[in-house]
A and B are shown apart, each in its own frame.
Chain A
Amino acid sequence: MGAALYKVTRDGRLLRAVVLGVVGLGVIAPIGLGLLQTGRAAFGILPALGHTVLTLDPWRDLAALPGFATSLRLTLVTGLGSTLLSLLLATGFCAAVHARMSPMAGARLLTPFLAIPHAAMAVGLAFVLAPSGWIARALAPMAGWERPPDHGTVNDSWGLALLVGLMVKEVPFLLLVILSALSQIPVARHMAAGRALGYGRGIVWIKIIMPQVWPLIRLPVWVVLAYALSVVDMAIILGPSNPPTLAVAVTRWFTDPDPAMILPASAGAMLQAVLVVLGVGLLLALEAVVRRVGIWWLRRGGRGLSAEPGLWAASAGVMALMMLGALAMASLLVWSLAWRWSFPQIVPESWSLKPWAGAMQGWTRALWNTLILAGATVGLSLALAIAWLEGEDRARRGRAPWAEALIYLPLLLPQIGFLYGLNVASLRAGISGGMAAVIWAQALFVFPYVMIALSDPWRSMDPRMVNAAAALGAGPWRRLIAVKLPILLRPILTAAAIGVAVSVAQYLPTLFMGAGRIATLTTEAVTLSSGSDRRVTGVYASLQAALPFVAYLAAFAIPAFLHRNRRALMGTATA
């Protein structure tokens, strides 16, 4: 009997062993190694510079660095603030409009906001929010401004522009996550039951629906928080510059000409990781409090109808953010094509392709690098994800919880926490500074998203379809290539498009592992954003925003064309 099962699943075992090996050595080991290296340096051990004694000095130096306290405060305010506000707005918006919006329409509306990289969105927002931006231009006739008003609306010392920028990207992501969670809950029936018992719509939402939604969105909210606490590219473009947020400050210290700065920088990177842990702990504590208070409130049976205005305020907030985001995206293209555009004019007085032609050599090189990186990382990630899922199928078993947690690990750790250490390790291995090192570092973040995007559609495929193929004599490889992959073409391409968006958006891995020598659209856009020529910045940011968008378009158009005569595969299985 045992022999029988061995025969059936031996193939699956080999595949699973290979996948486990690749994930373990390729993803988990480097992250662990990077954390270890950074952690050692944070406690004074950096043999390359002759530091070999365990000491707390790096932490003291870190605390004494100019602006440290302000940086820490800025990080907490923008990171925690944007996450909690986004969660509040997204929840309120879903409560107000869920019944009126189909998930398909919602997903389509959100796609551009999800696809655009953080850096491109930040550049566009800077164009819109700046004293000489679209908003000021629109207000100019009323305010009587002849020239840009003297207000620091971008890079403000409060970090408000950064807060808004983060929310413009986070709210659509949370909306998508909440909408997909809602599709697993019988919302309409619970709403009807609650209202029949005399509860208002908003109250039913808070008391009945949200408690069911939260467990489904908890992990994505953690990912958002971890990201917001440690974002670098968007914080460079929109955030205060002196002192900047902690993640930006740590990045600067790591790249400081004085190598001794690596020690306090490492302590800062570790602190960044601690902040994420504390942030998640705070969310867990909040959850516990809300649960206690909530159950007391629930048992009291209040029917209050007063939540309604709050929901509409949240919806208005979401609409305002979406409009701001749309304006920002449009402004990228407009600026890249503008020639003469003096202050109070809403549209440029003259247009030109000169910014594109002038910077051609630069952007073609960056575009190629970006395309190569995206192609390689997405190809690798997709192959690994398919191998993983197929391994689960062949063993005829689901995923262990520890494996699920493993996938989220790179998304929950701040990049700055282990990228420096990873770079040191790869320097020692002699692979730093090249394309391969960057591909590897980017894939650490592309793979989890591809895996998450592909898992649900893969598992929701009717297993009897595959059994039918086996009964017709098709072996495991023919079942995979001739049945599963074609049927799952749409979700596979959607996962690939998400992977492209993630790869194109990567800033820190490219910077650190490429040793600053590999220019991508993102690194160039971030560098240029501090300069004065908005036109050239617009060119790079437009291209950066366009790439993921083209990928999403392809993910939609290719299956639509190939399956145009296959009704069962049209309009279903959107990932």
Chain B
Amino acid sequence: MSLDLDALCIQSATGSALFVPLTLHVPAGGVVTVMGPSGVGKSTLLDGIGGQLAHGFRLSGRVVLNGRDVTHLPAEARRIGLMFQDALLFPHLSLGDNLAFGLPLALRGRAARRTAVEAALDQSGLAELHDRDPATLSGGQRARAALMRSLLAAPEALLLDEPFSKLDARLRDEMRRFAFAHVKSRAIPTLMVTHDPEDAAAAGGEVVELRGGSLNET
């Protein structure tokens, strides 16, 4: 598996390019870190890759996933997972149902699906918490659950948007190890945007600087 960006560029509604066109290659299990000044459009870049751009933005270049051009696909058909600094667990579902939401339809049968969810809970130290209200979990538990939910959807690439910035220092270390270990063991190409150099160091992959664009870009 691999994720490739080919001269990817995003223009705002006024027609100005947010950043200099970006070309990069994320190998299977590799974590590429994108850094840059705040406001340069790091989150918008992830929106573009994930197919979630707000109205008015325009995207040029290509997003290629395992040789498949996904630039023109809607978000739900891209198989690109997303993780934010907030866990964004669905507040109306139990922890277990949150994880089950991500399971592919192809996994049939109540028992099989339940087993898959329980196994994921187990792997993330959340065993026995299947029926819990996500609002009652600790920050670390929520972050692990959110990552597991993304992984259960069997994504072909993962986008991390400042994933550890809301955790306290001790949890941050633990969560980094947890996340990168899972990404590597599943060989998922991962793109992370962050402003924390420690994130980049822990990821151990290539670091790309996102530079602001100019009005002349088309």
Contact = CB atoms under 8 A, between A and B. Distances in A.
Interface of A: 1, 3-5, 7-8, 395-397, 462, 464-465, 467-476, 479, 482-483, 486-487, 489, 563, 565-569
Interface in B59-89: 59-60, 71-77, 79-82, 84, 86, 88
Given A468-B82, A489-B92, 16 more contacts: A1-B60, A5-B58, A396-B55, A464-B86, A467-B52, A469-B101, A470-B50, A470-B51, A470-B74, A470-B76, A472-B101, A473-B79, A474-B101, A486-B92, A566-B133, A569-B92
Nearest to A565: B133
A473 B51 contact: no
Contacts of B91: 487, 566, 568-569
A473 B71 contact: no
B97 to A, nearest CB: 10
A91 to B, nearest CB: 37
Contact of A567 (B58, B73, B135): B135
A396 B57 CA distance: 10
B19 to A, nearest CB: 17
B88 to A, nearest CB: 5
Interface in B86-100: 86, 88, 90-92, 94
A465 B90 contact: yes
8 contacts: A8-B51, A8-B74, A462-B88, A470-B76, A471-B81, A475-B76, A487-B92, A565-B94
B72 A7 contact: yes
A464 B88 contact: yes
Contact count band on B: 35 or more
Nearest to A470: B75
Contact of A465 (B59, B71, B88, B133): B88
Contacts of A565: 94, 133
A471 B75 contact: yes
Contact of B84 (A5, A396, A464, A469): A464
Nearest to B152: A472
A144 B52 CA distance: 77
B90 A483 contact: yes
A3 B86 contact: no
Given A465-B90, A563-B92, A567-B133, A471 B50 contact: yes
A568 B134 contact: yes
B153 A566 contact: no
Given A486-B92, A566-B91, A471 B74 contact: no
Contacts of A479: 76
Given A395-B55, A465-B90, A467-B50, A473 B76 contact: yes
A467 B88 CA distance: 10
A504 B50 CA distance: 47
Which 7 pairs between the two chains have the least Cβ-Cβ distance? A568-B91, A471-B82, A567-B135, A470-B75, A397-B55, A568-B135, A396-B55
A473 B104 contact: yes
B150 interface: yes
Contacts of A486: 92
Contacts of A467: 47, 50, 52, 75, 82
A464 B52 CA distance: 9
B188 to A, nearest CB: 13
B215 interface: no
Given A8-B51, A468-B82, A567-B135, A474 B76 contact: yes
Contacts of B133: 565-568
A426 B89 CA distance: 50
A472 B52 contact: no
Interface in B17-70: 47, 50-56, 58-60
Nearest to A397: B55
B102 interface: yes
Contact of B74 (A1, A7, A465, A483): A7
B136 interface: yes
B135 A566 contact: yes
A395 B56 CA distance: 10
B87 to A, nearest CB: 9
Contacts of A4: 59, 71-72
A471 B84 CA distance: 12
B146 to A, nearest CB: 8
A462 B133 CA distance: 19
A476 B74 CA distance: 10
Given A4-B59, A467-B50, A473-B102, A567 B88 contact: no
Contacts of B88: 462, 464-465, 468
A4 B62 CA distance: 11
